[in-house]
Structure 1
Amino acid sequence: MKTVAGARGAPGRHDAGGRSEAAVTGTSIRVWVDGELVEPLGPAVSALDHAVTVGDGVFETAKIVDGEPFALTRHHRRLEHSAAGLGLPAPDLAFVDKGVAAVLEGEPIAFGRLRYSVTGGVGPLGSDRHEASLTTIVLAAPQARPPASGRLTVVPWTRNERSAVVGLKTTSYAENVVALARAKQVGAIEAVFANTRGELCECTGSNVFVVVDGVVLTPPADSGLLPGITRGLVIEWGRAAGVDVREQALPLDVLTTADEVFITSTTKDVLPIDSVDDHDLPAERPVTTALQEIFRSNAERDSDP
């Protein structure tokens, strides 16, 4: 394992529920770094790692159900795409798989999150790179299942559909952290971004769909969104089941005129939306309910579609 530098969780810090920071962030997380299982709150990555200094890395998050990751092959393919887009060497997926096996060994995680990252490795303090020596990190932890439904809020910031990293899942997530914090402040489960053209784009970690006159609509990839694995499966499986699902540019205000709204993500699957800011949506959502069942039944048949 690489020489490591870092700080352990500070003592005495608690969340709103009174639990220590260590209990919230560390003790239940299984951590593997460059070939070794390590202590969750111990130092494990160099302070010079380029992901730490400039956010130079890519990652994937997969759902864990009964100890098994879901759609891992699709996540691997997107990791490769993201790494290529950043100009990183191709990740060693066999090495990643060793880390996945290590963190999933033992007591099965009934429901949780698998996260694996590949970074630019030790590098300079600026944005230039040395010859890449990749760092590979794999994490697994249980988490609460998602709620039955939720609320969205539209934030004033935009996605840049012409960004150099559009469509890549990078470790540079600061704007998502800010936007999601805003959503939590107002009691929303997710924050919605428009793009610079004023079109509906995506949420911080979810894709968004609307239903208009029985047709399911979602923004296309050229809106600037990150094409989610669950998003792609909902489109594929929905169409195969006879649901009219279309990718097209949408105005932001479609969120307040649509018959139904739902979001999709790795750990939320298909999650109905009750309201968008002050606009309440109908309690009856037959298309969303149908897609939930379509997704559930297909996922139960094949854990790596």
Structure 2
Amino acid sequence: MSVVVWSAGRLVDPAAPLLTPVDHGVTVGDGVFETCAVRHGQVFALTRHLRRLALSAAGLGLPVPDEAEVRAGAAAVLAAAPDAGRLRITVTAGPSPLGPARAPDDEIAPTLLVAAAPAGHGGATTARAVTVPWVRNERSSIAGLKTTSYAEQVAILRHARAEGADEALVANTVGDLCEGAASNVFVARGGEVLTPPLSSGCLAGVTRDLVLEWSADAGLPVRAAAPGELRYDAVVHEVLTGTAALALSGSVRGLTPVVELDGTPVEPGDAFEAVRALYVRRSAEDLDP
């Protein structure tokens, strides 16, 4: 299937020119977005994604998108693409002057786009990762916001793919493990499964949150680490020497074990088996948890 796009209350040709050249999302990446998994023609965890979209918009000082309008757009594209595997919701700041200064608040006219597409890598059951020299700034003004300013992630993923991998492990400025370029990270070691805390600068991923919540309900030893508990270099060394294992999480990929790091095969074993099984079961039971 091809991409199906909705804008301004109607389905539109994906090749149609929908954004003005002075849209701030085009000129400076001033916008927010969500990527959601689609299962059996329904958006998984849409309420949670809309909640995070609103938080990201508020964090950038953009008007919070109208939830009913977004849901209408989602329904329209999925009706036209029932076999879609992912849904993308994008909100930009709309027309603004050239440069970083946005239009005055009372003149902002945001652009809302909703698109459905195939799942892409979402069918992969394992992942290959590389380490990179670049870091995430946990003190950035957009730390924790899911913005369309994604050039950094594009560059990191391009490097990862040139190295034969599909993701990268990114540290923050103080040397703690933060996240993947486009995923959250889980580390299994010492009988526990840990994920970097939000203070590391990582995104509050929907899948990450559900894994933590559902694991707590089930009594599984899964938790957010304390600051400094997951040092980047230490985690990499432990994974390469077989004393720890990695998994990546994301809305479309779910929870995916890493089987190769920096070109070296690594063995996740059954470290994530119980957590993955729980996630698969709970997500099948409730499409909007």
Give the TM-score taking structure 2 as reference length.
0.92
Given candidates 168, 172, 178, the residue that maps to 1:195 is 172
Equivalent residue, structure 2, for 1:289: 273
Aligned partners of 1:73 and 1:304 also within 8 Å: yes
Q: Which has the higher contact order (CA 8 A, sep 6+)?
A: 2
1:134 maps to 2:110: yes
Distance in 1 (CA, whole Å) between partners of 2:19 and 2:8 is 9
1:48 CA displacement: 1.2
1:176 maps to 2:153: yes
Equivalent residue, structure 2, for 1:97: 71
Letter aligned with residue 24 of structure 2: H
Deviation string 1:191-225 (CA, Å, 9 cap, x unpaired) is 11100001100011100011112101111001011
Distance in 2 (CA, whole Å) between partners of 1:148 and 1:134 is 37
Give % identity. 47
Aligned partners of 2:81 and 2:116 also within 8 Å: no
Letter aligned with residue 239 of structure 1: A
1:148 CA displacement: 1.8
Equivalent residue, structure 2, for 1:255: 236
SS at 1:99 equivalent: helix
1:244 CA displacement: 1.1
1:259 CA displacement: 2.4
Closer, same or farther in 2 for the Cα pair 1:106/1:137, shift >3 Å?
A: closer
Given candidates 69, 73, 77, the residue that maps to 2:43 is 69
Structure 1: unaligned runs, 5 residues or longer: 1-26
Deviation string 1:62-104 (CA, Å, 9 cap, x unpaired) is 0011111100000000000000100111111111111111101
Letter aligned with residue 90 of structure 2: S
1:238 CA displacement: 1.3
Aligned partners of 2:29 and 2:149 also within 8 Å: yes
Deviation string 1:232-280 (CA, Å, 9 cap, x unpaired) is 0011111211111121231012133142210100111010111221443
1:272 maps to 2:269: no
* Larger mean Cα displacement after TM superposition, 33-42 or 165-174: 33-42
Distance in 2 (CA, whole Å) between partners of 1:185 and 1:278 is 12
* 1:1-305 superposed matches below 5 A: 28-109=2-83, 112-130=85-103, 131-144=107-120, 145-248=122-225, 249=227, 250-253=230-233, 254-257=235-238, 258-282=243-267, 284=269, 286-305=270-289
C-alpha root-mean-square deviation of aligned residues, in Å? 1.3
Equivalent residue, structure 2, for 1:8: none
Distance in 1 (CA, whole Å) between partners of 2:125 and 2:254 is 11
- Report how many aligned residue pairs link the two structures: 277
Give the TM-score taking structure 1 as reference length.
0.88
SS at 2:214 equivalent: helix
Equivalent residue, structure 2, for 1:6: none
1:283 CA displacement: 5.1
Structure 2: unaligned runs, 5 residues or longer: none
Distance in 1 (CA, whole Å) between partners of 2:4 and 2:81 is 11
Distance in 2 (CA, whole Å) between partners of 1:229 and 1:95 is 21
